[in-house]
Amino acid sequence: RQPWALVGILGGDPLATVEDKRVYHRNGTTGLAVAQRDFQTYDGVHFTVTAFSGWVKGVPHNGFKVEVSKGIILHLADEVTSWLPGDRIVIASTDYSMHQAEEFNLLPCTECQSNQVKIDGSPLYLHIGEVIDGIDMRAEVGLLTRNILIQGEMEDSCYGQNQCQFFSFDTFGGHIKILRNFSSVHMSGVELKNMGQQVLGSYPVHFHLAGDVDERGGYEHPTYLDNLAIHHCFSRCVAIHGTHGLLVKDSIGYDTLGHCFFLEDGTEQRNTFYHNLGLLTRAGTILPSDRNEAMCLAIRSHVYGNYIPTPSMDCMAVSTFWIANPNNNLIENAAAGAQDVGIWYIFHRVPTGQSEGQYPEGQAEHTPLGVFYNNRVHSNFKACAGLFIGKGVKTTRASAEDPREYLTVDNNARFRPHQDADPEKPRVPAIIDGLIAFKNNDHGAWARGGDIIFRNSGFSDNGIGLTLASDGTFPTDDGSSLEVSRSIFVGESSNIGSRGGQNSYWGRGANGEYRTLPRNQTFPIRGFQIYDGPVRMTKCTFKKFTPTADRYSSAIGFFMKNSWQISPQNNVSQILMERSVGLEVFFGRSGQWFGNNDNDGDKMSIFHDLDGSVTGYPDTFVGRADNYLLHHPRCLTVPRWNGMICTGKFAQLYIQARRPENLTLSIARAPLHSRPSRLQGVNRRAPYQQYQPIVMLEQPYIIQWDGRAPEDVILYPINFNRGDWLLVALCYPREAIFHVVADVYQRRTGTVHSVTHYTATATRDHVLRGTSERLFFFDQASGYLFVHLRAHAAREGHSYCSEQGCERVKIMAEMSGEGSWSCAPNPFPEWTVRPAPPRHTVSQRRAGPYGAPQLAITSKPSIKYVRIQIQSLSTADTQNHLTSAFIKINDTIFLFNSNGIFFVVLDACSGAVVSRWHFDTVSGENAANALSDYVQTFIKERSVVLVGSRDITEVAGNSAMSVFTRLGSAKPITFHQKGSFAMLGYKGQAKPSWIKILNQAAYQKAASLQHYVPLKLKEYQCSGSADEPPKWALSQDHSQHNSAETAELRD
C-alpha cells in the first residue's frame, strides 16, 4: 500500500532514474509520491514526464502526465517576424473534422528563427506539417491579431428575434457596409470580431451594389481588402453584392456563420480572392443554402403551403467560398474546414435579388471560368465536396407549382463555358490548376458540365477523390468533355488523423493501424469515380488503395446506384498504379452502399484503356463481368474487379419509349441471347421512358419488353462513327402495323431535318444485308421487326452525334390490344454459333512513361522535391531472415547487406547523390573517430544526409556521438545495442524543419523513415533559389505587398 513513483529509461543509466515514495497511514490518506524528470527529443522539444501515486480517504490516486515544458515551436513555411508574443493564432485541422482547428497564444522565443513561433500549450489533435505520400497536407496557421480592432458589443446570450432556437450566444454584432460612389476604400491590417448579424444584409464587411470598384469604375487606385482577420463573427466574412473588380487578399475568415467569402446575386464578376484562409465555417439561417438540417426543417416561413423541405437537396450547402459567377479569380486560397463545402461554384440561371434582369437567362452557365490556381480544400465534413462545380439556385418565388423557398439549392444548371458566354462560339475550357483536396469526408472534388479540365492536382484521404460528370442522357453541351491529368490520387495516406472533434469513424486502415475514416468504416473509398461521360484521365498516379475486411477501396470506381448513362468514350491513358494499390478497378457488388447493384448505369459501367496502363492490354474496354452485351470469347474476366477486359468496337443505343412508359426492356446480343440485360429505365418526370445500353458494333441485338411493346419507339445510334451499324430485332404483337421514319434531330435548336421514310421489304435478308436503302421487315410468324441502324454522318471529337444533329429511327406501331406479344428468344439463328470476334487479339501494353510527372503536388509548385525512404534493421530482424536494409531515393535503391551504419549524401540544391559510406561497427574509439571525421571533413555544406543501420550488435558502452548534432540533432546520439537507427539530416548553416531521427531499442519496431525533402530552398543559400513567389500578375497597384499573416506548418 505504500505510494511509490518512478521515472526512468528502459535500458538507460540507472543513476538518471527518479524515484519517490510515501509511508502509508491507517487513516487512508497519504501525501503523493511524485517522480518527475525532464527530457529532450532529438528535434529539440523539452518535455516533462511525471508519475504520481497516493491515497485520499482510502481511494488510490495514481497516474502519469507528459507535458511540454518550454513551449512548442512551430516551423512555418513563411517568414513571420511581425508576429509578436501575446498575439493569437489558429492552426487549421488536417483531418476530416473542421472542429480540430485550435487556437493558441504566442510566447516569447529568443531561440526562434524567422519562420518559427512558440505557442503556449499542447495541441489536442495531430496537425500535419509535411508533404505526405506526394500531397501537401501542411496545416494552415493564421494570425488572428491585428493592430486595428473593430468588434461588436455583445450580450451574454441570444435575445430577441435572432433565431435563438438555434444559437445560445448573442448573434447581433456590428457590421460595415460600403455603398456605390465611394471615394476610396482600402482596408488593411484590421481585426473584426463579433461582427455580423443573422439578418439579411448585415455582414462584417459588405460591398452593397457598389458596381465596378477597379479601373473600370474610374478608381485610379483599385479597391481592396488586405490582411484582415475576421473571426468569431455571426454572418459571413466578406459579402460581395453587385460589385465587380474587388481584390480580397491575405485575409482570414474563422469561426463564422453562413457562407464566408460570399458572392450574392450571380452578377458579381472580375473579383479576385488571393491567398485567403477560411476555416470553421458553420451553418447559418439567412439563406436555405446556409442552413443545416435542423434549420432547414424549422424555417418554413417562405415556402408555399405545407411544403416540408428536403434538407440534403434544398439546404445543407454552407461553403467557405460561395462563388455565384464563374468569372472570378481564386488564387492560392485555403478552404480549411466547412460544415458542408470548401469552394462551391453555384450558378444563377438568371440574376437574383436586387440584380434581377442584368443578364439573359443561362449566361452565367456559359461564362468562362476566371483563374483557378493553387487552391486547397480540406476538412470539409458533410456529404458534398471540398470543391463543388455544379447546381444552381431556385430563381422563382415559392408557388403551388414549385413550393420550395426562393434561392433554395436546385439541380437546374450545367456549367458549359463558351467564348463571350455565347454557346454559338467556341468552348473555353475551365481549367482547375493545382487543386489540393484531402481529408474531405465525402468528395475531394465534384464537377458537372464541360469543358472542365483538372490538372496538376492532388487528392488524398477523401471518401471519393474526384467525380467528373456531364449529364444523364447526353452532355448538355454536346461535344464537351471533362478531363483530369498530371495528378496524384492517394487512398489512405500516412496522415492517420486523431479521434475527436466530430470525427465519427475510427477503424483499422489497410496497414492494420487505427486511423480516422471518411463517411463510415465500411464506405467504399474510390480515387477517381466515373459518372456519365465523356471523361478522360491521363498521366495520373494512384497510391494506397487497398481493400480491408471492412470496406472496398479502389483506384477507379463508378457512381453507385446509377440509373443514368455511362459513355464508352470514357478513357484512361498513361496511368501509374503503384505497388501499394491493391484494387485498381471495382464495379461494386450487391450489399451495403451498392444496394442490389442492378440499376441501368451500374450494369453498363465501362471505360476504354487506351494504352493498357491500367489493364496491361492496350486499346481494350473494361466493363462489368456480367454485362453480356459486351462479352465475347476472348474477354478476360477479372473477378476481384467484378469486371472484364474486352477488345472490340463499342457505342450506345439510346432508346425512347412512349405509351406505355413503365416497361422493363430486355436486350441481348444474338450470340448470347440467353443472357439478356434487363433495364428499368430512368423513370423521370418525362412523357417517355428511356434506356441507354452499351452495344458492340456490327452485331445483331434482340429487344423485348415485359409487356406489350410501346406504341412509339425511337432508336438513337449514339457515339457511332460514320458507317458503324447494328442489326436490331424488336418484339411486337403479330397484328402490329408499322410506320418507320428516319430523321436528324438537332438538340441545340430543337429542330428536325432530313426526314426519310423507311420502306417495308418482303424478306429479312434485304434488311440484314445492310444496303443503302432504308428498309424494315416485320416477320409476323416470329413477331420481330428487323431494322438496320447505320450512322451516315461523321461524328467529331467527343460529340455523341454529328454536327448536323442526332440521327434516329422512329418506329410507330398500331396494335389492337389482342394477340400474343411474346416472341421466340432468338430471331438470328445464323449468329448463334458464330462468336463475335474481337477487333484484334489482346496484346501486352506498350512501354512508355506513366503517371503524374510531378513527384509531389504542393502549395509551392516551383519547389522540387526528392522522395526518400530509409529502412533499417535490428538484430532481431536479421535473425528473422529480413535482409533488406536500404535507402531509397526516388526510384533508386541502395541495398545494404553488411552490418553497420550507412550514409548516403545528396546535394541539397540539385538532389544528386554525391557520396556513400559504410561503417561496419560503431564500437571503439577508432570507429567513432572515423565516423566523426567523415561527417566533419568529407560531407560538404548544403548536403542532405541519409543514415540507416543494419544489425548494430556492438555499441561502445553509453558513449554518445556528438557529431550528429552537426547534422541537425538537438543532442548527441547513443545507439541502442541490437537496435536500429534512421536519420534524415542536413549539414549546413540552416536547420531545416524536415530533419528527422529515429533511434529504436531492440524491443521496438525497426527504424523506418519516409519523407519528401524540398530542394533548393532559400535557407540552403543555393545559387538561384527556387523559393520564389508565384508569377501571378494582379492588376492592383499594391500586389507586391508581401503579407505573411497566414502561413503553413512545416514538419
| pLDDT tens digit sequence for 686-728 | 789 999 999 999 999 999 999 999 999 999 999 999 999 999 9
State the pLDDT at residue 843: 55
**Average pLDDT estimate for 69-85:** 92
Q: Is the pLDDT of residue 1044 over 70?
A: no
**C-beta of residue 87 within 8 angstroms of C-beta of residue 81:** no
Confidence of residue 1035 (pLDDT cuts 50, 70, 90): very low
- CB neighbours of residue 754 within 10 Å: 14
Q: Is the pLDDT of residue 554 over 70?
A: yes
Q: Across the strands, what pairs with 455?
A: 433, 485
Exposed e or buried b per residue across 811-831, where buried means at least 16 C-beta atoms within 10 angstroms of its C-beta = bebebeeeeebebeebbbeeb
**C-beta of residue 714 within 8 angstroms of C-beta of residue 809:** yes
Distance (Å) of CA 287 to CA 22, 230, 245, 393, 856: 64, 21, 25, 11, 39
State the pLDDT at residue 924: 62
State the pLDDT at residue 30: 77
CA distance 627 to 629: 5
In this structure, what DSSP letter does residue 930 have? H
Q: Across the strands, what pairs with 47?
A: 39, 68
CA distance 1 to 54: 9
Residues 6+ apart with CB under 8 A from 670: 699, 700, 701, 702, 826, 827, 828, 831, 832
The dihedral region occupied by 817, where left means phi > 0, alpha psi between -120 and 50, and beta the remainder, is left
Confidence of residue 335 (pLDDT cuts 50, 70, 90): very high
**In this prediction, what percent of the chain has a pLDDT beyond 70?**
94
C-alpha cell at 887: 535507402
Confidence of residue 769 (pLDDT cuts 50, 70, 90): confident
Q: Is the pLDDT of residue 308 over 50?
A: yes
Q: 3-state class of 43 per DSSP?
A: coil
Q: Is the pLDDT of residue 124 over 70?
A: yes
Q: Residue 718, CB half-sphere, CA atoms under 13 Å: how many?
A: 26
**Average pLDDT estimate for 867-878:** 93
State the pLDDT at residue 1048: 64
**Average pLDDT estimate for 548-554:** 95
Type of residue at 598: D
Calculate the average pLDDT of the chain: 91
Order of strands across the sheet that contains 775-779 = 677-679, 665-669, 700-705, 725-731, 784-790, 775-779, 759-760
Q: Is the pLDDT of residue 511 over 50?
A: yes
State the pLDDT at residue 39: 87
Q: Is the pLDDT of residue 1031 over 50?
A: no
Confidence of residue 845 (pLDDT cuts 50, 70, 90): low
Residue with cell 430486355: 666
C-alpha cell at 640: 476481384
C-alpha cell at 663: 416497361
Peptide bond into 451 cis (omega under 30): yes
Could you tell me which residue, 881 or 528, shows the higher pLDDT?
528
State the pLDDT at residue 696: 96
Total number of residues shown for the chain: 1051
**C-beta of residue 381 within 8 angstroms of C-beta of residue 320:** no
Residue with cell 450545367: 414
CA distance 567 to 1041: 49
Q: Is the pLDDT of residue 981 over 90?
A: yes
CA distance 681 to 390: 24
CA distance 246 to 999: 53
**C-beta of residue 836 within 8 angstroms of C-beta of residue 648:** yes
Q: Is the pLDDT of residue 547 over 50?
A: yes
Cα angle 1001-1002-1008, degrees, rounded to a multiple of 5: 70
Q: Residue 535: is it exposed, middle or buried by C-beta count within 10 angstroms (0-12/13-18/19+)?
A: buried
State the pLDDT at residue 1027: 45
**C-beta of residue 343 within 8 angstroms of C-beta of residue 332:** no
In this structure, what DSSP letter does residue 845 have? P
CA distance 690 to 713: 10
**Average pLDDT estimate for 283-309:** 97
Q: Across the strands, what pairs with 621?
A: 608, 646
Could you tell me which residue, 5 or 344, shows the higher pLDDT?
344
In this structure, what DSSP letter does residue 709 have? P
The pLDDT tens digits of the residues spanning 53-62 come to 988 877 888 8
Q: Is the pLDDT of residue 958 over 60?
A: no
Residue with cell 536479421: 878
CA distance 628 to 758: 30
C-alpha cell at 150: 473593430
Q: Is the pLDDT of residue 992 over 70?
A: yes
**Average pLDDT estimate for 502-529:** 92
Its pTM stands at: 0.94
The pLDDT tens digits of the residues spanning 142-162 come to 999 999 999 999 999 999 888
The pLDDT tens digits of the residues spanning 243-278 come to 999 999 999 999 999 999 999 999 999 999 999 999
State the pLDDT at residue 1033: 35
C-alpha cell at 131: 508533404
Q: Whose CA is closest to 270, among 227, 217, 208, 342?
A: 217
**C-beta of residue 53 within 8 angstroms of C-beta of residue 62:** yes
The pLDDT tens digits of the residues spanning 91-115 come to 999 999 999 999 999 999 999 999 9
Peptide bond into 660 cis (omega under 30): yes
State the pLDDT at residue 363: 96
C-alpha cell at 363: 449566361
Q: Tell me the range of 40-44, 412-416, 644-648 where mean pLDDT is highest.
A: 644-648
Least confident of 202-216, 352-366, 728-742, 955-969: 955-969
Least confident of 675-689, 726-740, 1001-1015: 675-689
Least confident of 130-134, 701-705, 815-819: 815-819
CA distance 954 to 942: 31
CA distance 36 to 223: 58
